[in-house]
């Protein structure tokens, strides 16, 4: 009821009012304009959204398997082979991320011309080509739905679009770009060329080292320096042994010389063979005769002269001298000697020992010279042997490198051949096709739009009802004020449009009766 004056009697308790369908309909009539506007606005917006939103979905499926085993690219002679038929969740997720990588999406954008749609965003703004490509890649990445199907090795890629043909074209380009990127990641390009170049270099190096080995005997004059060095060392050992013996002989000879010299000093060169002792009878007899004559002369003169007579004194002196000579007279020894053979032997042995010393000294000098020459030869042969070992080692390394790179080159050639024949560990299980029917039905969008419009319009109606503070029915008075209503008198404002929306409002004049 609209336009009522309400008289409230406070003598009795107000009755409890209930919200009825009549009240709901009345509420709709009171706010019919807002209700209709919100209903049709939401309905039209839903229709526009359904028209703009992608209704078609193209999809493709990629199978991840392990039928091909690629050798690991390494410098090791044996290439480890990873043989595992089981595809892990991490591998599926890696392939899914690869599908959404910029390196895969950028060729797709360039091939399908998606960047042209983003060159202009507003009529006054124009993007640069690289910015348009970046924007197209970002939009395509956000639109793609990549998911690994549960309990399978299949990755499903879905692309919603308003243009079914363009969606199928984009997914077809995505499959090609993904396969190419997969081959690039798992089999880097240029392996065959690299290993072929390395194999040729190793072959050249091997040939050069072999030529040096062939020319080595002419260069050094020794075909086998190691064997020649061992022989020279054996000779040096023999010479050292001989040198040690010579030095021992020299020391022995010097000791022999010293001993012989001591014997030489203590040995008499002559040997006594006969010795006879005899007196000198004639001279002794003459001296005794002379002594007797002097005695006689002294006796004659002593009778005649005094003792100090000079001739007598002279005679006495001669007598004393002759007597002394007689007394001093010793027997004569007749000694016969001969050459001492021991002394002669000592001289002979001493001469031999000295000669042996001279010979040993000369032998020592010569042996030392020979040993030094052989040591120089050993050093040279040792250096030649090291050089030959280096050449042999270099030849072995060059041969190993050549064999390794030849094997790697063959493996790379096989890998390239497998790539050319599209034998990889991923396969397009389902190629994208142009979708004929939309993914969402138009009736579904209509139903959703209708439900959404009813919900929004009802909410707007209740919100406006909540914001209106005037009393419109006796039930509101009884409900809000908890007072009984005695009478309701319809009334209008001066112009009947006090709210500015063409709706009549009610004034609640409440008359309270005193008890």
Residue listed under structure tokens 């919200």: 19
Of 437 and 455, more confident: 455
Residue 217 confidence (pLDDT) above 70: yes
State the average pLDDT over residues 45-52: 67
The residue-averaged pLDDT of 418-422 equals 53
Q: How far is CA 397 from the centre of its chain?
A: 22
User: Do the bridges between strand 154-161 and strand 56-64 make them parallel or antiparallel, or are there none, so unpaired?
Assistant: antiparallel
Query: Which three-class secondary structure state does DSSP give residue 430?
Result: strand
- What's the mean pLDDT when you consider all of the chain? 75
What is the predicted pLDDT for the residue at 510?
41
CA angle (339 as vertex; 336, 345 as ends), nearest 5: 155
Question: pLDDT at residue 402 above 50?
Answer: yes
Structure tokens at 29: 């009539």
The dihedral over CA atoms of 100, 106, 109, 112, expressed in degrees to the nearest 10, equals -100
pTM for this model (two decimals): 0.42
Q: How far is it, in rounded angstroms, from Cα 381 to Cα 385? A: 6
**What residues pair up with 7 in beta bridges, in sequence order?**
487
Q: How many CA atoms lie within 13 A of 340 on its CB side?
A: 13
| pLDDT per position as a tens digit, 119-131 | 765 555 677 878 8
Q: How many helices (H) and strands (E) does the chain have?
A: 13, 10
Token pair recorded at residue 143: 């639109």
Which residues have a Cβ under 8 Å from the Cβ of 441 and sit 6 or more positions away? Answer: none
For residues 53 and 476, the model is more confident at 476
175-191 confidence digits (pLDDT tens): 888 888 877 776 666 67
* Cβ-Cβ contacts under 8 Å for 28 (sequence gap 6 or more): 35, 461
User: Under DSSP, is residue 122 helix (H, G, I), strand (E, B) or coil?
Assistant: strand
Helices (H), 164-272: 164-186, 191-220, 225-266
Question: Which residues face 126 on adjacent strands?
Answer: 120
Would the pLDDT of 152 be above 50? yes
- Other CB atoms within a 10 A radius of the CB of residue 96 amount to 17
Query: What is the DSSP code string of 356-402?
Result: HHHHHHHHHHHHHHHHHHHHHHHHHHHHHHHHHHHHHHHHHHHHHHH
pLDDT value, residue 365: 92
Residues 153-176: what's their mean pLDDT? 86
Give residue 514's pLDDT band: very low, low, confident or very high (50, 70, 90).
very low
User: How do residues 287-306 score in pLDDT, each as one tens digit?
Assistant: 778 888 888 888 877 877 77
Residues facing residue 271 across a β-bridge: 338
C-beta separation of 409 from 195 below 8 A: yes
Question: What are the C-alpha distances in Å from 311 to residues 27, 287, 291, 413?
Answer: 215, 20, 16, 157
Residue 15 pLDDT > 60, yes or no? no
- For the chain, percent of residues with pLDDT exceeding 70: 71
Mean pLDDT of 108-118: 84
Q: Is 173 exposed, middle or buried (0-12, 13-18, 19+ CB in 10 A)?
A: buried
> How confident is the model over 52-66, as a mean pLDDT?
75
Spatial separation of the C-alpha atoms in residues 365 and 216, rounded to whole Å: 35
The per-residue pLDDT for 513 is 37
Name the phi and psi angles at 430, rounded to 5: -140, 115
Q: Hey, what are 227's tokens? A: 């064997």
């Amino acid at each position: 009821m609209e336009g009522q004056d309400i008289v409230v009697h406070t003598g009795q308790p107000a009755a409890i009012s209930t919200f009825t369908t009549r009240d709901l309909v009345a509420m709709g009539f009171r706010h019919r304009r807002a209700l209709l506007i919100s209903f049709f606005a939401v309905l039209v917006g839903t229709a526009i959204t359904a028209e703009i939103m992608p209704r078609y979905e193209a999809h493709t499926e990629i199978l991840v398997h392990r039928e091909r085993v690629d050798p690991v690219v390494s410098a090791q002679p044996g290439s480890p082979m990873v043989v595992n038929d089981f595809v892990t969740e991490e591998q599926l997720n890696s392939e899914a991320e690869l599908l959404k990588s910029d390196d895969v999406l950028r060729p797709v954008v360039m091939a399908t011309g998606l960047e042209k749609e983003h060159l202009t965003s507003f009529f006054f703004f124009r993007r640069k080509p690289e910015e348009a490509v970046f924007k197209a890649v970002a939009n395509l990445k956000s639109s793609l739905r990549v998911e690994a199907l549960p309990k399978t090795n299949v990755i499903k890629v879905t692309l919603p679009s308003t243009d079914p043909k363009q969606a199928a074209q984009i997914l077809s380009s995505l499959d090609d770009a993904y396969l190419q990127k997969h081959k690039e990641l798992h089999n880097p390009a240029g392996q065959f060329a690299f290993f072929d170049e390395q194999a040729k270099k190793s072959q050249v190096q091997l040939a050069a080292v072999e030529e040096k080995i062939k020319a080595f005997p002419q260069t050094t004059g020794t075909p086998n320096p190691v064997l020649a060095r061992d022989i020279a060392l054996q000779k040096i050992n023999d010479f050292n042994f001989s040198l040690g013996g010579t030095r021992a002989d020299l020391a022995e000879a010097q000791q022999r010389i010293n001993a012989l010299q001591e014997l030489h000093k203590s040995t008499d060169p002559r040997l006594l063979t006969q010795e006879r002792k005899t007196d000198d009878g004639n001279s002794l007899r003459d001296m005794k005769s002379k002594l007797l004559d002097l005695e006689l002369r002294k006796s004659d003169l002593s009778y005649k002269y005094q003792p100090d007579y000079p001739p007598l004194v002279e005679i006495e002196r001669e007598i004393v001298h002759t007597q002394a000579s007689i007394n001093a007279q010793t027997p004569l020894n007749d000694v016969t000697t001969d050459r001492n053979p021991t002394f002669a032997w000592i001289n002979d042995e001493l001469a031999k020992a000295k000669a042996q010393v001279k010979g040993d000294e000369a032998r020592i000098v010569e042996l030392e010279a020979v040993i030094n020459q052989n040591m120089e030869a050993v050093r040279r042969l040792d250096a030649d042997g090291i050089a030959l070992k280096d050449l042999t080692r270099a030849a072995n390394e060059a041969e190993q490198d050549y064999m390794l790179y030849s094997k790697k080159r063959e493996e790379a050639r096989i890998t390239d051949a497998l790539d050319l024949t599209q034998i990889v560990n991923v396969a397009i299980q389902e190629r994208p096709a142009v979708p004929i029917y939309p993914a969402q039905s138009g009736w579904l969008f209509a139903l959703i739009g209708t439900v959404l419009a009813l919900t929004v319009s009802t909410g707007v109606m209740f919100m406006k009802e909540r914001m209106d503070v005037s009393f419109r029915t006796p039930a509101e008075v009884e409900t809000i004020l908890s007072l009984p209503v005695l009478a309701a008198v319809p009334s209008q404002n001066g112009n009947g449009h006090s709210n500015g929306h063409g709706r009549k409002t009610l004034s609640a004049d409440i008359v309270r009766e005193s008890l």
